[in-house]
């Protein structure tokens, strides 16, 4: 039973570029959430996708956008990259959108470095 998988594992970009990160949820899960984790901090919620729509959003600018596909996989896109976007980006999946339906299962993240 495959867990949450993310790609790539590491990525280096320069300021102003755009990046796309990918996530495949755990088998049987239909909801995907994205988090940003700066070094030494807890993960910060970016947004959640359910039924191919963004359902909830954290305090992140419009430069951060996403998509969910019919097979429940998801992408996170970040435009006009800033140095402060350097972080570990985590994807989590769960079954159902409602709170407490299932604990979220996390992937090992994509380490994004902005030069």
Q: Which residues here bind other proteins, judged by CB under 8 A? A: 4, 33, 35, 40-45, 48, 55-56, 58, 90, 92, 97-100, 103-109
Q: Which residues pair with 5 in a beta bridge?
A: 24
Give min distance, CB of 30 to other proteins, in A: 14
Which is it for strands 19-24 and 74-78: parallel, antiparallel or unpaired?
A: antiparallel
CA 102 to CA 8: how far, in whole Å? 26
Q: Which residue lies nearer to other proteins by CB, 78 or 90?
A: 90
- CA-based nearest residue to 114, from 33, 7, 43, 14: 14
Least distance to other proteins from the beta carbon of 16, Å?
Answer: 28
Rounded distance, CA 65 to CA 75, Å?
8
Would you say 49 or 79 has its CB closer to other proteins? 49
Distance CA 110, CA 22 (A): 9
Report the residue number, 3 or 13, with the smaller CB distance to other proteins: 3
CB of 15 to other proteins, least distance (A): 26
Pick the closer one to other proteins by CB: 15 or 55. Answer: 55
Rounded to the nearest whole angstrom, what is the least distance from the CB of residue 112 to other proteins in the complex? Answer: 14
Tokens of 103: 């604990």
């Amino acid at each position: 039973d495959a867990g949450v998988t993310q790609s790539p594992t590491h990525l280096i970009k320069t300021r102003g570029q755009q990046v796309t990160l990918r996530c495949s949820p755990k088998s049987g899960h239909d909801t995907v959430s994205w988090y940003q984790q700066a070094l030494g901090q807890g993960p910060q919620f970016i947004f959640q996708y359910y039924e191919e729509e963004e359902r909830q959003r954290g305090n992140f600018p419009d430069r951060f956008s996403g998509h969910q596909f019919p097979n429940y996989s998801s992408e996170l896109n970040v435009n006009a990259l800033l140095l402060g976007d350097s972080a570990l980006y985590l994807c989590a999946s769960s079954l159902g959108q409602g709170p407490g339906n299932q604990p979220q299962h996390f992937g090992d993240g994509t380490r994004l470095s902005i030069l």
